[in-house]
Homo-oligomer: A and B are copies of this chain.
Amino acid sequence: MRAAQYLPVLSWARSYGRAELSNDLMAGVIVTIMLIPQSLAYALLAGLPPEAGLYASIAPILLYAIFGTSRALAVGPVAVVSLLTASAVGQVAEQGTAGYAVAALTLAFLSGSFLLLLGFLRLGFLANFLSHPVIAGFITASGILIAASQLKHILGVNAHGHTLLEILASIAAHLHEVNWVTLAIGFSATTFLFWARRWLKPGLLRLGAPAALADILTKAGPVAAVVATTVTVWALDLVEMGVKIVGEVPQSLPPLTLPVFAPDLLAALLVPAVLISVIGFVESVSVAQTLAAKKRQRIDPDQELIGLGAANIGAAFTGGYPVTGGFARSVVNCDAGAETPAAGAYTALGLAIAALALTPLVYFLPNATLAATIIVAVLSLVDFSILRRTWDYSRADFIAVSATVLVTLGLGVEVGVASGVAISVLLHLYKTSRPHVAEVGRVPGTEHFRNVLRHDVETAPTVLTLRIDESLYFVNAGFLEELIFSRLAERKKVKHVVLMFSAVNEVDYSALETLEAINHRLKELGVGLHLSEVKGPVMDRLKRSRIVDGLNGRVFLSQHDAWTTLIAEASE
């Protein structure tokens, strides 16, 4: 049982049969075709040599197949994590140096260790601290940033920067250096890829192609662009005209590599590694959950941490860089019929063959084509509708999203996601710091009590009943005292204050002290303090304090009891 929990592979490998084999093989082939250009492109985005992208897709896929719980997730380099890697490693080493690649290995190792640690501590729920709108805003903004960062490859200029403004300003400053041949290749590739994504499949279907074939041909779009532009560059000798190409890529299986454990390097990469882990985990789990729900399967977030942790440790020792479960490749994998993680193993095999045998073929592949595949991929992630949807529903969520988008574009990805989390939490605290409190009265002829401002209800001059629509804790502890005494100042006849606790889910120690202070002050004024509808868990806790015994009034099980008792006493 315990082995099966930590090794999900045991649960599916046992019943692996011919049907699964053929489905998984098919998915493996399709995903391999898609991943070859994508892996090279994301390595470029991360500032690493192209082979690093291939290597980062081989061992990690295998390790995830053994330890992961999703049947369709495809693990490897993804756009946002590649950008975060470039940003983190760029701060400790110069791009193109050996130190840069080693720092990327160390980053993957740290990230993997952190994920494993969270997994062993079963802290998968921490991913929930990122709200959906914040994630949506972050991914949209990152998509724009990534697309902007690739423009330089399309234009054939030198440019750099971590924020949208820096990138665009840097490109503008180098605009006179535009290489027109590169631009022609980049522009054609981008246009073709956008067209293929949108129109190729419907076009093929209209021409009478079988659906499966149309599908495969569409997915092979990037491969077609790669082949066409590579051949063009080679045939017309465009390198002479300044077109930048991928160049020499070693023909090799993933090498055995070692991260570096210099204390300075570890200290500098620790925070980025945590950030990459969290963002990668959230992205991966949300993809895995979406796909699992479709097929009525379940994933286990804690075991996912272990699967992704193992994948990153694997990347660190085989020449890769930080990886996670990617959206596009996982959807393709699932659509292509993958039934078990074995599909991933076949993809890994396909990529290993590519690394060993096909790398000389990409010598003349222009960087502009890789940039085009990145731009087309990430712009499909850009979705501003979250701004309108949250605006309609809740201003607080809207503020969190728009701040995340603006900060990510304006100050970079790392600050962006950190401030998204901070703003969500602060807005939640702010909302609960001034809770909604309703004075309630009885709906005539029933035992129900409702807000006096919204419903036509009975009230009594001697009884003030307040329903507190929030848990009481340190953030709002002071609020209640002020509120009660300002209401009392307006209502001189009140002899009993009833606090209706039906929506109070917690009373922490700060709030307990406030309740004691309120009780004390009301006692001095000769006004009773009563509680009603106190939930079981809250009551259990209050009984451990002095408040219940010292209460200048009573605790009623229901508000109806409180009402009838206090009204009857008043009329005696």
Interface on A for B, CB 8 Å cutoff? 125, 128-134, 293, 389-390, 392-394, 396-397, 424-425, 428-429, 431-436, 438, 446-448, 451, 454, 469-471, 473-479, 502-506, 508-510, 512-513, 517, 521, 535-537, 541, 544-545, 558, 560
Beta-carbon contact of B537 and A474 below 8 Å = no
CB distance from A302 to the nearest CB of B (A): 13
Beta-carbon contact of B434 and A131 below 8 Å = no
Beta-carbon contact of B513 and A132 below 8 Å = yes
CB distance from A509 to the nearest CB of B (A): 4
* This protein's copies in its complex: 2
Contact sample, A vs B, 28 pairs, CB 8 Å cutoff: A128-B433, A128-B474, A128-B476, A128-B477, A128-B479, A131-B474, A131-B477, A132-B510, A133-B510, A392-B544, A393-B509, A394-B541, A396-B508, A397-B508, A397-B510, A424-B474, A425-B425, A428-B473, A428-B508, A435-B505, A436-B535, A438-B536, A448-B558, A469-B505, A469-B537, A471-B471, A502-B503, A503-B505
Known: A394-B509, A544-B392. A125 touches B537 (CB 8 A): no
Beta-carbon contact of B133 and A509 below 8 Å = yes
Among B390, B429, B476, which residue has its beta carbon within 8 angstroms of that of A425? B429
User: Which B residue's beta carbon lies closest to that of A474?
Assistant: B131
| Closest 5 pairs (CB-CB, A-B) | A131-B474, A397-B509, A132-B510, A503-B503, A469-B505
Beta-carbon contact of B544 and A393 below 8 Å = yes
List residues of chain B with CB within 8 A of the CB of A471. Answer: 432, 470-471, 505
- Excluding A389-B509, A469-B505, 19 further A-B contacts by CB distance (< 8 Å) are A129-B474, A130-B474, A131-B474, A131-B477, A132-B510, A133-B510, A293-B521, A393-B545, A425-B429, A428-B475, A432-B506, A436-B535, A446-B447, A448-B558, A454-B536, A469-B537, A470-B471, A471-B471, A503-B504
List residues of chain B with CB within 8 A of the CB of A293. Answer: 517, 521
CB distance from A239 to the nearest CB of B (A): 48
Q: How many Å lie between the Cα of A502 and that of B501 in the bound state?
A: 10
Among B125, B429, B560, which residue has its beta carbon within 8 angstroms of that of A434? B125
List residues of chain B with CB within 8 A of the CB of A393. Answer: 509, 512, 541, 544-545
Q: How many Å lie between the Cα of A475 and that of B471 in the bound state?
A: 15
Q: How many Å lie between the Cα of A20 and that of B428 in the bound state?
A: 46
Q: How many Å lie between the Cα of A2 and that of B327 in the bound state?
A: 57
User: Which B residue's beta carbon lies closest to that of A289?
Assistant: B478
Beta-carbon contact of B470 and A510 below 8 Å = no
List residues of chain B with CB within 8 A of the CB of A394. Answer: 508-509, 541
Beta-carbon contact of B451 and A448 below 8 Å = no
Q: How many Å lie between the Cα of A448 and that of B446 in the bound state?
A: 11
List residues of chain B with CB within 8 A of the CB of A396. Answer: 508
Q: How many Å lie between the Cα of A512 and that of B436 in the bound state?
A: 20
User: Which B residue's beta carbon lies closest to that of A537?
Assistant: B436
User: Which B residue's beta carbon lies closest to that of A547?
Assistant: B393
List residues of chain B with CB within 8 A of the CB of A436. Answer: 505, 535, 537
Q: How many Å lie between the Cα of A510 and that of B535 in the bound state?
A: 26
Q: How many Å lie between the Cα of A389 and that of B547 in the bound state?
A: 13
Beta-carbon contact of B129 and A475 below 8 Å = yes
List residues of chain B with CB within 8 A of the CB of A448. Answer: 447, 558, 560
Known: A397-B509, A469-B537, A537-B436. A477 touches B544 (CB 8 A): no
Q: How many Å lie between the Cα of A435 and that of B503 in the bound state?
A: 13
User: Which B residue's beta carbon lies closest to that of A435?
Assistant: B505
Q: How many Å lie between the Cα of A502 and that of B451 in the bound state?
A: 13
CB distance from A419 to the nearest CB of B (A): 15
User: Which B residue's beta carbon lies closest to that of A389?
Assistant: B509
User: Which B residue's beta carbon lies closest to that of A133?
Assistant: B509
User: Which B residue's beta carbon lies closest to that of A285?
Assistant: B478
Among B131, B506, B517, which residue has its beta carbon within 8 angstroms of that of A509? B131
List residues of chain B with CB within 8 A of the CB of A435. Answer: 505
List residues of chain B with CB within 8 A of the CB of A503. Answer: 502-505, 535
List residues of chain B with CB within 8 A of the CB of A131. Answer: 473-474, 477, 508-510
User: Which B residue's beta carbon lies closest to that of A533?
Assistant: B502
CB distance from A546 to the nearest CB of B (A): 10
Beta-carbon contact of A502 and B502 below 8 Å = yes
List residues of chain B with CB within 8 A of the CB of A447. Answer: 446-448
CB distance from A429 to the nearest CB of B (A): 7
Q: How many Å lie between the Cα of A475 and that of B155 in the bound state?
A: 44
List residues of chain B with CB within 8 A of the CB of A433. Answer: 125, 128
Q: How many Å lie between the Cα of A354 and that of B310 in the bound state?
A: 71
Q: How many Å lie between the Cα of A95 and that of B300 in the bound state?
A: 56
Q: How many Å lie between the Cα of A435 and that of B469 in the bound state?
A: 16
CB distance from A389 to the nearest CB of B (A): 7
List residues of chain B with CB within 8 A of the CB of A477. Answer: 128, 131-132
Q: How many Å lie between the Cα of A478 and that of B129 in the bound state?
A: 11
User: Which B residue's beta carbon lies closest to that of A286?
Assistant: B478
Beta-carbon contact of A474 and B132 below 8 Å = yes
User: Which B residue's beta carbon lies closest to that of A473?
Assistant: B428
List residues of chain B with CB within 8 A of the CB of A508. Answer: 131, 394, 396-397, 428
CB distance from A438 to the nearest CB of B (A): 8
Q: How many Å lie between the Cα of A392 and that of B477 in the bound state?
A: 19
List residues of chain B with CB within 8 A of the CB of A128. Answer: 433, 474-479
User: Which B residue's beta carbon lies closest to that of A290?
Assistant: B517
Identify which of A390, A394, A447 gathers the most chain B CB atoms within 10 Å of its CB.
A394
